[in-house]
């Protein structure tokens, strides 16, 4: 005959097994640090490409900035064909950028979110100006990354300064490479 005690012990053993299995499943589904870094890199690059798609054009400076940031900031290499494919996705689906930004925002701490926002602003500013539409999309990006309007303003200024520095360095390198004459 089964007693209430035996039923209770069986129930608690079953519950413990369920909880243990749930904990193992949860740990197995959490990304490793390397996987998280790769997701951040992919997301940041996609967000930068989404910002580049805002005006429907993908200028040479945007490609150069995205390639350099992907390599230098995220340790990632991306070729022009891949960039063109991702860009086409953003041109075709205007709601893709906010979705990407929200997903990326869940992976980032505040410093990482500020860095992504600055990098996206650098892409938008790479032609030397920031259109109202680009400014609006970057503001939406800041909100999706849980950043304040003040942070957006600071990152926009930092992006402009960084782009000006890069342009100046490129100009000086071209001038130095030209033969004297």
**How many Å apart are CA 140 and CA 104, to the nearest integer?**
13
**How many Å apart are CA 67 and CA 78, to the nearest integer?**
6
| Cα separations in angstroms, 170 against 88, 149, 167, 175 | 29, 31, 5, 9
Cβ burial, residue 70 (10 Å; 0-12/13-18/19+): buried
Q: Which has the closest alpha carbon to 55: 117, 108, 125?
A: 125
Range 100-120 average pLDDT = 94
Chain mean pLDDT for the chain: 83
Predicted structure pTM score: 0.76
**How many Å apart are CA 39 and CA 175, to the nearest integer?**
39
Please give the backbone phi and psi of residue 31, each rounded to the nearest 5 degrees, phi first.
-70, 150
Domains and CATH numbers, the chain: 34-167 (1.10.3680.10)
pLDDT digits (tens, 9 = 90+) for 33-51: 889 899 999 999 999 999 9
3-state DSSP assignment of residue 65: helix
CA-derived radius of gyration, the chain: 23
pLDDT digits (tens, 9 = 90+) for 158-170: 888 888 887 778 7
- The reported pLDDT for the residue numbered 49 is 95
Half-sphere exposure of 28 (CA within 13 A, CB side): 6
């Amino acid at each position: 005959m089964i007693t209430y005690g035996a039923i209770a012990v069986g129930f608690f053993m079953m519950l413990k097994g369920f909880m243990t299995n749930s904990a193992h499943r949860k740990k197995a589904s959490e990304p490793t640090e390397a996987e998280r870094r790769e997701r951040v890199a992919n997301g940041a690059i996609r967000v930068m490409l989404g910002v580049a798609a805002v005006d429907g054009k993908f200028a040479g400076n945007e490609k150069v900035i995205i390639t350099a940031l992907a390599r230098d900031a995220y340790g990632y290499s991306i070729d022009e064909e891949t960039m063109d494919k991702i860009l086409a996705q953003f041109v075709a689906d205007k709601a893709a950028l906010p979705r990407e930004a929200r997903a990326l925002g869940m992976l980032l701490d505040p410093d990482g979110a500020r860095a992504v926002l600055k990098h996206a602003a650098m892409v938008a500013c790479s032609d030397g100006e920031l259109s109202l539409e680009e400014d609006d999309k970057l503001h939406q990006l800041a909100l999706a990354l849980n950043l304040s309007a003040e942070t957006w303003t600071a990152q926009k200024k930092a992006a402009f300064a960084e782009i000006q520095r890069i342009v100046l360095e490129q100009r000086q390198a071209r001038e130095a490479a030209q033969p004297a004459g």
